[in-house]
């Protein structure tokens, strides 16, 4: 049994993570702003993680075996947490993203299409950090999401005071009403309404992970002893055409596609550039992944069953 602090953990796979930690017998503390109460049996600290003085005061004399940070988006937030948790935890796990590899958002090493991108393509130990950028501005942060994650990883990697690991998650699907991004619902809605799905003519494959599998991986990462980044994705990349076909098969409809040129915005998961991740490191460390093709039909069925989803 470990003492685990989860920062965030109020929705989607973060909420499931808290539930899984409790089921496994761990002592769990959740830190968030109080909009959603955690399950019974969880120590709940209501505080804004951006307010360093308030965070430090709320922590008091608490110490943890592991911190799992679900909602760190900027180097400023990372620096606050690195100071607040120094000496309070032996291990810090940050939930990061596949977007750190997006070549449209930074000058990154070139990877040939079809070659899964390894963790060393973005090394947080040497990535430059610019805390003075307007990270507090929501519009700026949204436009620089990938860079915010890269720099947050970099701050933790150099902080010292605890062992640091970053879980770089693939695109998360599944969960029905839990899934709040609406990206899979974009496909199910358009297919069932007979509306065109905008895709690139040569849409490149990307990788996915089911929300329960990601929660399981985070539980595993909390108990492990590896450091540095690790990619989290199910086996079997798909492109936007594959995803549309999977939705159409489940819905019993035909998918209508509209081709858009390179550089033009398309539907979610249609990419005109390659950055599908490799999960080889996580496998070598002992985690076993499912195949996307095995769980995707269930995720599509959940999205089709949501209230308000079109029907015949």
Q: What is the pLDDT of residue 306?
A: 79
In angstroms, the CA 262 to CA 111 distance is 18
Confidence of residue 34 (pLDDT cuts 50, 70, 90): confident
Which is nearest to 70 in space by CA: 237, 202, 222? 222
Closest CA to 111 of 121, 100, 119, 123: 121
Place of tokens 């070549």: 103
The domain locations on the chain are 3-304
SS3 17: helix
298's tokens: 């269930």
pLDDT tens digits, residue range 212-266?
999 999 999 999 999 999 999 999 999 999 999 999 999 999 999 999 988 888 9
- Mean pLDDT score, 299-303: 92
Q: 190 pLDDT exceeds 60?
A: yes
Q: What does R_g of the chain's alpha carbons equal in angstroms?
A: 20
Token representation of residue 10: 């109020």
Print the SS3 string covering 161-177.
CCEEEEEEECEEECCHH
- The Cα–Cα gap between 4 and 99 comes to 27
**The predicted structure's pLDDT at residue 310:** 47
Judged against a pLDDT cut of 80, whether residue 151 lies above it is answered with yes
User: In 3D, which of 95, 80, 83, 86 has the Cα closest to residue 131?
Assistant: 80
286: pLDDT strictly greater than 70 = yes
- Greater model confidence, 37 or 229: 229
Model confidence at 177, in pLDDT bands (50, 70, 90)?
A: low
Q: Does residue 11 have a pLDDT over 50? A: yes
Specify the higher pLDDT residue, 160 or 105. Answer: 105
Cα gap 214→299, rounded to integer Å? 14
Task: Select the CATH number that applies to the domain covering 3-304 from these four: 3.40.50.720, 3.30.479.20, 3.20.20.70, 3.40.50.2300.
Answer: 3.40.50.720
Q: What percent of the chain is modeled with pLDDT above 90?
A: 83
Mean pLDDT across the chain: 93
Q: Percent of the chain beyond pLDDT 70?
A: 98
Band the pLDDT of 276: cuts 50, 70, 90: very high
User: Rounded CA gap, 307 and 282, in Å?
Assistant: 36
Q: What is the pLDDT of residue 43?
A: 92
pLDDT above 80 (res 148): yes
Segment 149-172 mean pLDDT:
96
Q: What pLDDT is attached to residue 312?
A: 41
Q: What is the mean pLDDT of residues 131-149?
A: 97
| pTM greater than 0.75 (yes/no) | yes
Task: Tell me the CA distances in angstroms from 242 to 136, 231, 261, one per residue in order.
Answer: 38, 22, 18
**Alpha-carbon distance 6 to 27, whole Å?**
11
* 53 torsion bin: left (phi>0), alpha (psi -120 to 50), beta (else): alpha
């Amino acid at each position: 049994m470990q003492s685990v602090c989860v920062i965030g953990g109020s929705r989607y796979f973060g909420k499931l993570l808290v539930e899984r930690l409790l089921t496994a017998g761990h002592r769990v503390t959740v830190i968030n702003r109080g909009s959603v109460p955690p399950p019974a049996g969880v120590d709940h600290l209501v505080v804004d993680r951006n307010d360093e003085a308030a965070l430090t005061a709320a922590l008091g004399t608490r110490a943890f075996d592991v911190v799992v940070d679900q909602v760190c988006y900027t180097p400023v937030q990372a620096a606050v947490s690195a100071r607040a948790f120094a000496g309070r935890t032996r291990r810090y796990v940050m939930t990061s993203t596949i977007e750190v590899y997006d070549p449209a958002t930074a000058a990154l090493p070139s990877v040939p299409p079809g070659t899964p991108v390894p963790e060393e393509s973005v090394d947080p130990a040497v990535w430059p950090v610019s805390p003075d950028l307007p990270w507090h501005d929501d519009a700026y942060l949204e436009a620089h999401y990938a860079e915010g994650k890269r720099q947050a990883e970099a701050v933790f990697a150099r902080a010292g005071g605890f062992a640091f690991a970053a879980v770089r998650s693939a695109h998360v699907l599944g969960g029905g009403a839990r899934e709040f991004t609406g990206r899979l619902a974009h496909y199910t809605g358009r297919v069932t309404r007979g509306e065109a799905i905008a895709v690139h003519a040569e849409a490149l494959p990307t990788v996915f992970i089911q929300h329960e599998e990601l929660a399981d991986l985070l539980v595993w990462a909390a108990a492990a002893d590896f450091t540095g980044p690790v990619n989290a994705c199910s086996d079997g990349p798909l492109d936007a055409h594959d995803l549309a076909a999977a939705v159409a098969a489940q819905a019993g409809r035909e998918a209508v596609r509209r081709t858009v040129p390179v550089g033009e915005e398309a539907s979610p998961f249609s990419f005109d550039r390659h950055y599908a991740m490799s999960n080889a490191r996580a496998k070598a460390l002992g985690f076993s992944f499912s195949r996307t093709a095995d769980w995707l039909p269930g995720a599509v069925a959940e999205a089709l069953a949501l209230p308000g989803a079109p029907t015949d």
